[in-house]
Chains A and B, each alone.
Chain A
């Protein structure tokens, strides 16, 4: 356990050196500044609330999400970009030899790196979301603590994608393939499969095609649902009505990480 923590801690150090934190802090500050400014100029909540039959709370949260969603999206894209080099750098000649010569198992090494990357994103996303949340809460004196739960859904989304980055980092020793596949899953595969499964599949007659879509939908992680529907529902305080996307995605994460470790255990450096 101590070994894992050492690797985790020094991953934070690495992220700090790569200016990941500074980039996030700039984004967070800009966002909070923008939120404060706009909220002071116009009462958008009032405008929006007319659209929600006067449900002020729902309008408030929706506006809050309107600010937070694009920023967290950028946050995830940035996190993928900055964490993609973690594994390849670790696997560089002269570095990995030395790590493996220490009394640390290969499982611990990968687990430590995984937790390190996730922790970096957790901290940064938390700062961002808490900042925006404070700006809104002070302005409207509405203290919706449920909103803070989305820190976890967004970090979880990253964790899933990061497991893919780790797998391809180990396989290729370079950062580009993992990064590209993570972007592909996040931006294209997941939203597309969601649309296929819930909007198109019903219209199909061919049962093989239907089955294939089903399979792909359940196999691939549901990052767009987690970042979208589930996050919104949590922010509104409605909880999670269907755990399936979370559980199947968790399964994907564990599988990917498991395969990564299995491959890494056999790899020579």
Chain B
């Protein structure tokens, strides 16, 4: 079953001020299966936040429809089963950590002792137990982000939207957040994650979408997107290795990357074998050979560049 179903969603921001129109989202369609983590990637201004805000009824679509947890997005009551960590969240600064959670917990329909227990549990989860009675104006940015996460998870939501969740969090905090999210996934929760940090998404998500200028330009599993390519990392040893490699000049890209490692680019496996034959016939020992993968980052950059080119034509 799908936790999110988006049907050609379009959002045009029009400013009455200078009559400028921004197409923030264009014919966006996507399904996210229940119990999976979906990562939406895109540069700043791609429309990631716009999409989440549409799904949560904070802004309204210009066109198209969408459902979350099988309810159309204008039905506000379904949001009792949803959690949200906004991009730049801001809580009333005079409140204490616990009061923040109490307030949003009550708004999510929780109450009484079950809310109290849940608040303590959440503070524990995000390592803020000692800070529950401190006013949040004394919190650091990382602490605010963790409190935000506690807020988003308080009502034990089935669907969780996180907008740049690791923004401003140190590496250890990031790892902790990652662990929390993986734990949620084990509990069959659906997570929708916005990020411009590719490494983040790569480590967590089942599927990713790449968004640029309001258009979804690619969608698939991380593995599908980061296909193998004809590039190998070789570790070789031999007396005149340098010279032999120089002989390949111009025909094959063979680059010394230091410490006895070389980067080899070939057109196919026939060419690869040819190179290996030459090396071995010259008494060179091949100690290690690894096929290189495109990182999500490479894919991301090349896809964005591709779509920009198309736009220019």
Contacts and interface: CB of A to CB of B under 8 A. Distances in A.
Contacts of B161: 101
B269 to A, nearest CB: 52
Contacts of B76: 103-105
B90 A93 contact: yes
B58 A268 contact: yes
Contacts of B78: 103
Contact of A103 (B79, B87, B91): B79
A50 to B, nearest CB: 53
Interface string A86-105: 00010011111111111111
Given A14-B94, A102-B108, A94 B99 contact: no
B89 interface: yes
Given A94-B86, A102-B79, A103-B78, A6 B95 contact: no
A235 B181 CA distance: 63
A94 B88 contact: yes
Interface residues of B, number: 32
B229 to A, nearest CB: 41
Nearest to B59: A268
Given A92-B90, A93-B88, A94-B89, A104 B107 contact: yes
Interface in A1-36: 2-3, 6-7, 10, 13-14, 17-18
B92 A101 contact: no
Contact of A6 (B59, B80, B87, B103): B103
B94 A17 contact: yes
19 contacts: A6-B107, A13-B99, A92-B90, A94-B88, A94-B90, A95-B90, A95-B91, A97-B56, A97-B58, A100-B58, A101-B161, A102-B107, A102-B108, A103-B79, A103-B109, A105-B76, A266-B60, A268-B58, A268-B59
Interface of A: 2-3, 6-7, 10, 13-14, 17-18, 89, 92-105, 266, 268-269
Q: Identify the 7 closest CB pairs spanning chains A and B, nearest first.
A: A94-B90, A17-B94, A268-B59, A102-B107, A101-B84, A103-B80, A103-B79
